Amino acid sequence: MKKIVLVLLVCLLALSAFGAEKSLTIYGKAMLNGQTVAPGDYKVAVDVKGTTAELKLIKSGKTVATVTGEVVELKDAPKDTMLMYQANADGSRTVKEIQFINEKQAIRFVTDGGAVGK
């Protein structure tokens, strides 16, 4: 019984962490789910199901990219929203993880063409 309660608690914490719309700024051109994303300010909507998260990047009310990622635990909550990148051979960069300000969970993306959770 305690295991069930613990699992439900962990799931609820993940949902509460990503349940609200968030915002972030991309400072340079980047790839997300194979799509080029221009620099600028974006709203982020996250739908979490278990350890899988679907993230929508929204600019001026329009969804510009949708990507599925894995919810991962962080040791410490970051003091700012941070994007982690993978450098590509052609000089471009791909978003591989988003860490939200004051949240101990992040969303990690597969950057080699695979899909997390599928």
Looking at the domain assignment, is residue 118 inside a domain? Answer: no
Please give the average per-residue pLDDT across 4-20, as a whole number.
Answer: 46
Please give the average per-residue pLDDT across 44-54, as a whole number.
Answer: 94
Report the C-alpha gap between 39 and 52 in whole angstroms: 26
Report the C-alpha gap between 46 and 69 in whole angstroms: 10
Task: Tell me how many domains the chain contains.
Answer: 1
Sign of the Cα torsion 8, 97, 24, 42 reads negative
pTM of the model: 0.76
Helix (H) or strand (E) run with residue 37 in it? strand 35-37
Looking at the domain assignment, is residue 114 inside a domain? Answer: no
Domain range for 82: 2-108
Looking at the domain assignment, is residue 115 inside a domain? Answer: no
Please say if the pLDDT value at position 13 is more than 80: no
pLDDT digits (tens, 9 = 90+) for 58-113: 999 999 999 999 999 999 999 999 999 999 999 999 999 999 999 999 999 986 54
Place of tokens 């679907």: 54
State phi, psi for 30 to the nearest 5 degrees.
-145, 165
